[in-house]
Amino acid sequence: MSSQDIIARSATTTPMPSVRQVDEVAKLIDVSKCIGCKACQVACSEWNELRDEVGHNHGTYDNPADLTASSWTLMRFTEHETESDSLEWLIRKDGCMHCAEPGCLAACPSPGAIVKYANGIVDFNQDKCIGCGYCITGCPFNIPRISAKDHKAYKCTLCSDRVAVGLEPACVKTCPTGAIVFGTKEAMKQHAEERIVDLRSRGFAQAGLYDPPGVGGTHVMYVLHHADQPSLYAGLPDDPQISPMVSLWKGITKPLGLLGMGLVALLGFFHYVRVGRNVVEEDEHGPDPAVHQVDPAVHPYDPREPRV
Amino acid sequence: MTNHWVDIKNADLVLIMGGNAAEAHPCGFKWVTEAKAHNKARLIVVDPRFTRSASVADLYAPIRAGSDIAFLGGLINYLLEHDRIQHEYVRNYTDATFIVKEGFGFENGLFNGYDPNTRSYPDKSAWGYERGEDGYVLTDPTLSHPRCVFNLLKQHYSRYTADVVSNICGTPKDAMLKVWEAIAETAAPDKTMTIMYALGWTQHSVGSQMIRTGAMVQLLLGNIGMPGGGMNALRGHSNIQGLTDLGLLSNLLPGYLTLPSDAEQDYAAYIARRTSQPLRPGQLSYWQNYEKFHVSLMKAWYGKNAAAENNWGYDWLPKLDIPGYDVLKVFDMMYEGKINGYFCQGFNPIAAFPNKAKVAAGLARLKFLVVMDPLATDTSEFWRNAGDFNDVDPAQIQTTVFRLPTSCFAEEDGSLVNSGRWLQWHWKGAEPPGEARTDIAIMAGLFIRLRELYRSEGGAYPEPILNLDWPYLKPEEPSPEELAREFSGKALEDLTDPATGALLVKAGEQLSGFAQLRADGSTASGCWIFCGSWSAQGNLMARRDNADPYGMGQTLGWAWSWPANRRILYNRASADPSGKPWNPQKKRLVWWNGKAWTGTDVPDFKADSPPEDGMGPFIMNPEGVARFFAVDRMAEGPFPEHYEPFETPIGRNPLHPDNPQATCNPAARVFKGDLEVFGKAEEFPYVATTYRLTEHFHFWTKHCRLNAITQPEQFVEIGEALARELGIAAGDRVKVSSNRGYIRAVAVVTKRIRPLTVDGKTVHQVGIPLHWGFSGVARNGYLTNTLTPFVGDGNTQTPEFKSFLVNVEKA
Amino acid sequence: MNRDIQRYTASERSNHWAVAILFVLAALSGLALFHPALFWLSQLFGGGPWTRILHPFLGLAMFLFFLWLAMRFARHNRFDANDRRWLRQWRDVVGNREERLPEVGRYNAGQKLLFWGLLLCMLVLLVTGFIIWRQYFSHLFGIELIRLASLLHAFAAWVLICSIIVHVYAGFWVKGSMGAMLSGRVSRGWARKHHAAWLKQVSPDEAKQR
């Protein structure tokens, strides 16, 4: 995507290009259709040329056990017993949500290391990444990971390289059941509506769309059977938002802080101007060369008096 | 599949039982989601485990591994008791009205004519129909005759009450009744259920009968031949359907023609026995054309050398001295030291066959082993000591192993036959690496050298080799196109219409279908059911037109489907006896337009036979209708009966507690020595079942990094209750042992396997995925088939991988 | 005859300036990450990644030197009743009307306040710095704690920097103070004016004079 597509940029305080009118895109993950086959995990690794370590089984189906710098998406499996004692195996594809108000971008101190495109994709520029990990601190979804090899932050790019040339993300292309679909955000919301009607007809009265307003909505959305309890799905935040602590840390306090420091310095300066230094008189041997003696021969110039 | 993948979208109800389509067939499973999303279909999963398929199901019921006949038998009883059947369909399209011979009987778990010494039914003569004076079978359209199939069926399954079934299967009664009721709804003529099954039914000692029971349910509901219906076997390898079609089983020839037995030395008798005559007036009985297919096959193989004078080379065909040389038989013979060389092409027997110890011992008794495979398989390294995973002493193994690297499917052109019988041409995507050669090149090289040896040195009976026709442009490597044209078939002489004398096909031209095959040697076709796949119009398998004018998903211009590009078998049954679709709105498949049969699919019927002539839709059967009563075709008897797995957790058959002969499949073959290593519940109390995971493909993808990442390490699945009992936590290492060996693996403790109450006992089930071995980039592990018993289905000899006994301990 | 008084030993002066230099480096590298407008400061350290790499080590080194310094000076920084009076008369302090203030010991109350303030800031920076030190330590902590630590780290750094600005200005303002930390010596007049009580302590003849 070109620089004109960048509508937000980390550690940047001036407005970004805004002339380009682009439809916002979204990836919709229908959890009720997902069978947890992990084809998306493999497709993601294939397209992005990632190869994680061959790990261990930790007593669950989740493999790798967590997102890493080389695993940008993974299935999280939850066995949930409902009140009626029936079982649900909730399988959620985890990865970057591409928030409209990205916490990572807000937290990032390196100008341009995190950008948001006009179509909604939030992308990391590893060449500008300094590896501080503030993006992790800022993210309400615990997504970015720092590579132990190069100390750069990585996460799902929503295949911004593919989307830029009109292709769908690799995970979407590969999903065998059509659980992951991609299109304009509007179209995805409509699609979700149909799915929700279907799910309600199957007894999921609380089925709904997960497009959390706390982060301004996301460009990766879920259709959930239990939209009233997102946290059932391996801890998907019920009401994600940029943590108040992060807002405080990265928000208005920053310019105020700078101002504060400047004021303290100015205070000193004006103290000097108005009050002056605290000098020990008895130590002063002879006139201070810094202070000019007033020559009685020199009179101050008064323009009202005619010159003689 | 009687139907095909895309057609699943037409279903109103999908039953996944004896399979885990989401896990093992995730790509095909898209059509289940399609049916759910756009046809408001409901999905039911019945499985010992709450599977990935169950995770998206509307209804799930647990079942004890190996008890599916009881579940389905109970369903049959439920449908009959509650009168939830498609009456018109059952009366007109099945053998329900046929009257069975008087001698037929069933008592205390056994049908008449059982011989316990040979573990078989040597005399099946009473398993047949009463014949009238005209030679045709007697029927009773009123279904009141006590020995009509319908009443025998009713009587047979009347024992399968909900309580009895729940007691055998361990399925809670309310869950079971919910499933049955949902299925019963598809008895409505305009509604269909599809059944998707796979190795969860085939890999039992009663596997064939499980599938039959499913088919019987479908017939009662009128779901065979219907869009969105059918019995749909999901094939595990991309081209295993093609291999089956070309003669996978050792007693088969291509196109489901059969090899003669030793007793069949006379050609005419061989043909006559297979040319089944109609059992009812006006029926087609398509196997009457057997000789046309057979002669065309022999002409494809032997060319000019097959002639009328030598009975088309009949003597060159091997004659079976036993029913078949299936894999269990062959490895038993190897184990007995009766085989000294083995060509292992695209197989990994030490991993894929039961009782690894026995298979490995057999391999060690070979003089030579040739492995043709794209990968360095475990079998090719069976002699390598891999610690506890393969604890052998290489010094004691004298087998010479030749590894011939082959290309894989993506490195060659050719056709693949999918589960839905579509022959889809594919094109090479990359060159094979290193010294790898195509299987065709390797086999052709072997053939040419063997023929040269026979030519120069003679040898016992060289004719079958020397007479083989080898007309390929590059004899050392026939092209896939040449072979494809050969199995499709061509005219060897000008073919004329016998009635008008008009020229139909010029000599040398490709045939357009098996209807053109002749028994006079004027046609050649290497596999009659594939005839027409490469016609005069060219390679129809390479077509990629997905136009779907009726919106029924039949896409007749996409690839080519056997037989005759027909997408749904028995599709005549999708229309009522008068020729109108049962559901003219949503399930239009074929219909009678006043002059001919036409429709959205190629009619599976005699195109000009008007409905009033009463020809039945099951034209391959001499009955013209579908069979509830299997006559003498099944080893265990005409009606499926529940028998326990050979390793049963309850030690008796609750249906026949007093008859030990009827505990397990009485007609299954058990080799000497294997009976002794079947485990008993006292020592091995838990039911184990083995299966695939979606992250892996058999024993191949443990060689692939990406697959290894997604499931890196061997594990077993244990229910929470059992884990608590044994003090096992998720992530612990456990030892799972059967009477044949043990494996160690990580425990996945899950809510998805719950204990069941069976025959008054609590039965725990343990799930054992099979993908690990002692080679590959995934963490090495034990071959799961170290544990499995060496016994197979009574008809196909498919090993009983899905139900056996183990013990579990913390390792 | 030079009657100047030794106020700081060479070791103390070195210690102080080590802290000071490390503070400047840590502050500049920290400020680079504190606000986008100051990110250019990262160029002083060889770019963003080097800034990220160096900052925690600089901070840690600063803390250790400061700790050493603090252990040397802590006993001089105990508050007493005079300090409270001194603080109440802050107007006289900033107005250079020292003669109205109570006699000051080695350090005045402002200096003491600064001392304890710096120590507190340093401790907070140390603890929170470890928590947000992504490369080695962050994986040991929960996200909420990391967020809190990030906030506290920035706040403590802000307090510290503001305090140091005051400290630096005070050093310049009170003529002779800068020299004291450079040469270690102060004039008797300086001591008499600013730290009379201390002068009495360290100089017996001064005590006699009075």
Whether A79 has a pLDDT exceeding 60, the answer reads yes
CATH, residue C28: 1.20.950.20
Three-state DSSP class for residue B129 = strand
| Topology given in CATH for the domain delimited by B6-236 | Dimethylsulfoxide Reductase; domain 2 (3.40.228)
SS3 B111: strand
Please give the residue of chain B at the shortest CA–CA distance from A43.
B706
Q: Considering its fold, how many domains does chain C have in total?
A: 1
A144 and A153 Cβ atoms separated by less than 8 Å: yes
Whether residue C1 lies inside any domain: the answer is: no
pLDDT above 50 for A288: no
Q: β-strands A25-30, A220-224: how paired?
A: parallel
Name the strand (E) or helix (H) holding B210: helix B207-220
Chains C and A touch (3+ CB pairs under 8 A): yes
> CA C22, CA A86: separation in Å to the nearest integer?
63
The predicted-structure confidence for B490-511, as pLDDT tens digits, reads as follows: 999 999 998 999 999 999 999 9
Quote the radius of gyration of chain B (alpha carbons, Å). Answer: 26
The boundaries of the domain holding residue C57 are: 6-209
Are A227 and A205 in contact by the 8 Å Cβ rule? The answer is no
Chain B residue closest to A176 (CA)? B27
Taking contacts as CB-CB distances below 8 angstroms, the residues of chain A near C169 are 265, 268, 271-272
In-domain check, residue A22: yes
Residue B306 contacts by C-beta under 8 Å, 6 or more apart in sequence? B295, B298, B299, B312, B313, B467, B521
Structural contact between residues A99 and A185, judged by C-beta atoms closer than 8 angstroms: no
pLDDT tens track for B307-319: 999 999 999 999 9
Q: What is the per-residue pLDDT for B737? A: 97
Q: Is C35 a catalytic residue?
A: no
Please name the residues between 32 and 51 in chain A that touch chain B, using a CB distance below 8 Å: 32-39, 41-42, 45-46, 51
Question: Which of B26, B42, B50 faces A35 most closely, judged by CB atoms?
Answer: B26
Q: Is residue A83 in some structural domain?
A: yes
**pLDDT value at position C13?**
95
- State pLDDT tens for residues B647-696: 999 999 999 999 999 999 999 999 988 888 899 999 999 999 999 999 99
Identify whether A258 is part of a domain. no
Cβ-defined contact of A202 to B729 (cutoff 8 Å) = no
Nearest residue of A to residue C161, measured between CA atoms: A261
Query: Which segments of chain B belong to CATH 3.40.50.740?
Result: 327-454
The reported pLDDT for the residue numbered A301 is: 53
Residue C73 lies in a domain: yes
In a domain, A33, yes or no: yes
Segments of chain B scoring below 50 in pLDDT: none
Q: How many domains does chain A have?
A: 1
Task: Give chain C's residues under pLDDT 50.
Answer: 1, 210
- The predicted pLDDT at position A287 comes to 43
With CA atoms as reference, the chain A residue closest to C160 would be: A261
Instruction: For residue A238, tell me if it sits in a domain.
Output: yes
Checking if the pLDDT of A290 tops 60, the result is no
Q: Write out the CATH class of domain B660-810.
A: mainly beta
Q: How high does pLDDT run on average in chain B?
A: 96
Spatial separation of the C-alpha atoms in residues B691 and B51, rounded to whole Å:
11
**ipTM of the shown complex:** 0.93
> Which pLDDT score, from 0 to 100, does residue A308 have?
46
- Give the C-alpha separation, B732 to B717, whole Å: 11
Instruction: Please indicate, yes or no, if residue A193 is contained in any of the structural domains.
Output: yes
What is the tens place of the pLDDT at every residue in A131-143? 999 999 999 999 9
In Å, how far is C2's CA from the nearest CA of chain A? 12
Per-residue confidence at A85, pLDDT binned at 50, 70, 90? Answer: confident
pLDDT the model gives residue B408: 93
* Both structure tokens of A210: 């997960």
d(CA C196, CA C194): 6
Band of pLDDT at residue A303, cut at 50, 70 and 90? low
B52, B712, B748 member nearest A56 (Cβ): B712
Hey, is B733 helix, strand or coil? strand
Q: For testing the chain C interface, which of A132, A142, A242, A266 should be mutated: the one with the most C CBs within 10 Å?
A: A132
Instruction: Specify the pTM.
Output: 0.93
CB-CB neighbours of A56 under 10 Å: 15
Does B101 contact A at CB distance below 8 Å? no
Paired with B372 in beta bridges are B345, B404
Q: Tell me the per-residue pLDDT of B508-528, one tens digit each, with 9 for 90 and over.
A: 999 999 999 999 999 999 999
pLDDT, residue B674, reads 85
pLDDT given at position B675: 83
In this complex, do B731 and A53 lie within 8 Å of one another by their Cβ atoms? no
Class of domain B327-454: alpha beta
**A271 in a domain, yes or no?**
no
Using the Cβ of B811 and the Cβ atoms of chain A, whether some distance falls under 8 Å is answered with: no
CATH number, position A72? 3.30.70.20
Residue A87 belongs to what domain range?
A: 3-250
Question: For residue A50, is it within any domain?
Answer: yes
